[in-house]
Structure 1
Amino acid sequence: MSGDIFALIPMLALSIPIIAITTRHKRRMAELEVRRLEAEAASGRSASSDRTEWLEDRVKVLERIVTDKGYDLAAQIEALRDAPPAAPRIEEQK
């Protein structure tokens, strides 16, 4: 039994640097992630703004469908999905 305790001491001594290296790496990765998020915020672009633009495009398509007086909505939906996005009007650029 006493031999087992002496075998654990070197194992513990070797595990301390491994834990320190792992912790340092995790801290460095977190710092890099924070810097990346700060750079995105400073430039005004982020994943949420991309998602917002996509949703705005979808709403425009839905508005065109709703305001159209046609009866074949399924065919119109498919046609709008396949059509390239329309150029922005002058009112939308302001």
Structure 2
Amino acid sequence: MDIQFHELAPLIGILGVLAIGGWILTTWLRIRHGYPLDGAWGQAVYPRSSEETTERVKLLSSENAQLRAELGAIKDRLATVERIVTDDGHRLTQEIEALRAPRN
């Protein structure tokens, strides 16, 4: 069972093309989704920090803070609803009637 190089050459070529194609695809996906690329010595090549990037981070941070505040309000409302649902019927009826009563 003597395998010659010329018999393995097509397989080696196909594997090489697949490896390069995979590397190109991975690089393209990283660029498309904003992940930094690594240079030959591990330093970040892309994206570079710019004024636009800094502004975008500020906007995302403020949006994140607003969403967290909204989530906190929703959690409070959910806790109230859970308390009402798990409360006994008599007390719930009293609270509803107290809300219906006219205020002075």
| TM-score interval, smaller chain | 0.3 to 0.5
TM-score (norm 2): 0.42
TM-score (norm 1): 0.45
Question: Which structure ranks higher in relative contact order (CA pairs < 8 Å, sequence separation ≥ 6)?
Answer: 1
Normalized per residue, the structure richer in strand is 2
Normalized per residue, the structure richer in helix is 1
